[in-house]
Amino acid sequence: MVYGKPLGLIDAFSRGSSEYGNLVLNGAFSSVHASRRVKSARREKADERTIAAAAAAVVAPWEVVPVPECPLQRKVRPELRSAPERKRNVVVVLLESFGREYVEACSHRGYNVSPRLDALAGEGVLFTNCYANGQRSVHGLAAVFLSIPSVPGLPYLGAGLEVAGVHRIGTSLSRAGYRTIGVNSGPRRSYRTDAIAAALGFREYAGKEDIPRRQEVEPGRSQPPFGWDYDGLMHLLDVIDAKPGPFFAFAITGTPHHPYSVPARRFEKYPHTVHGLNGFLNTLYYADWALGEFMDEARKRPWFSQTVFVITADHGLGFAEHPDPARRFGIPLLLLIPGESPAVLDRVASQADIWPTLVDLLGLEDAYAGIGRSLMRPAAYAFAFLDEGSTLVFVTQAGWMRHSRVRRLDLGLRPDTAPEVVDRMESTALAIDRSLFTLFNQNRFFREEAR
């Protein structure tokens, strides 16, 4: 048992190494655990032509494929790699359940629970057409840090995906001279985030058990199961300040999770309920305040002007009955980049684009594998690949397609969309879906290069 939760496959990778992790595991343990977490689905494997089509949609002109057997593994061409004069720090904030429709700067729907985030949006690059690749926090972690969406037939991160070859971003960052930090406002072991952070190579990690209580709470208020966002974010500042040197840090917040609770009456913008929409909106209002307080304090630090902030969500709230993917998967994505002019962009983006973007911004040399592309460069074909379990959704600037992996189920397209555009959406979505499944099963997704 680790912190009250049984050992899982992910715990074998605590040193951030694929080789070490696979050496520790035994076959029976791995088979039982992975089989329990694999989505049952009848899958069609991809042939080499299909895999080539997926690679053509994913690998950008400014990238090179260093291992031919792994066609989705790439790195920025050396001559095109950015070279900042000083190492940029990075802070990634994953806001719990903060769907895009609740962010006024993105949706203008009038909920008015995001004033601090709306103000920050005027300082950075705001993507108003961004999507979570899945509907659970653990899916968001895999998409943000590995550029991998969930697909049927593969286990999720923390329950077997890490057994296959995946790039370890913390390990890459350490090689590049970065401190690697993770803070989860919820319990250390929730979603096995502690083990996931270690498996990805993060050296410093803290959970709710490690975070001092700072949030002032009115008498009679219940404590949220995944912690107060203010406490977690302020603790992140303490951890960053504890040691010198460039850093890459992420924070996972958790207050907007049912049963809903806010620390004081002043955050009750709506009549409060523990499980209903009003309670959820109040927790978003509180989470937005906590984010604003965190950013105000960060501005006082000497490292602030050299830090890239990525503010997004782990997933949206999710409206299972709503056909529009924007209502189910839409999330905010705000990049605050030193020296970059503010902008509002309607380009289709997803969580899977975040790590490729950071690789580009930081000028990292190590290869990675995934389906995302850097948002700092133009895209001839921008898309978002979304997992609904038995179905997938594919979004482009032309609109969206829901697909059973056998046939088209639903379309939401611009009126002037040509049939060949729809055909391309379908063929690209299926190529990516089948290629991910096939490459993982053939151990061809990612391989460490010889150094």
Q: What is the pLDDT of residues 397-415, one digit of tens each?
A: 999 999 999 999 999 999 9
Mean pLDDT along residues 209-216: 96
CA angle 148, 154, 157 (to 5 degrees): 55
Q: Encode 412-446 in three state secondary structure.
A: EECCCCCHHHHHHHHHHHHHHHHHHHHHHHCCCCC
Give the range among 96-100, 104-108, 187-191, 269-273 with minimum mean pLDDT: 187-191
Q: What is the pLDDT of residue 450?
A: 62
Mean pLDDT along residues 251-270: 96
Kindly indicate the confidence band of residue 249, based on its pLDDT and cuts at 50, 70 and 90.
Answer: very high
Mean pLDDT along residues 37-49: 73
What percent of the chain lies above the pLDDT cut of 70? 89
Q: What is the pLDDT of residue 247?
A: 98
* Residue 100 pLDDT exceeds 50: yes
Mean pLDDT along residues 317-325: 72
Mean pLDDT along residues 38-67: 88
Whole-angstrom distance, CA of residue 151 vs CA of residue 138:
13
Whole-angstrom distance, CA of residue 339 vs CA of residue 355:
20
Residue 183, phi then psi, degrees to nearest 5:
-130, 125
Q: What is the pLDDT of residue 12?
A: 53
The tokens for 149 are 């969406």
Q: Dihedral of the CA atoms 324, 357, 431, 395 (nearest 10)?
A: 20
CA angle 185, 360, 393 (to 5 degrees): 65
The domain covering 1-451 belongs, at the CATH homologous superfamily level, to Alkaline Phosphatase, subunit A (3.40.720.10)
Q: What is the pLDDT of residue 25?
A: 45
Nearby residues of 283 by Cβ (< 8 Å), 6 or more positions away: 224, 255, 256, 257, 260, 261, 262, 267
Neighbours of 381 (CB within 10 A): 14
Q: What is the pLDDT of residues 14-28, one digit of tens each?
A: 555 445 444 444 554
Give the range among 36-40, 94-98, 181-185, 377-381 with minimum mean pLDDT: 36-40
Q: What is the pLDDT of residue 133?
A: 96
Tell me, what DSSP letter sits at residue 143?
H
What is the average pLDDT score of the chain?
90
Q: What is the pLDDT of residue 14?
A: 53
Closest CA to 431 of 177, 71, 142, 14: 71
Domain boundaries, the chain: 1-451
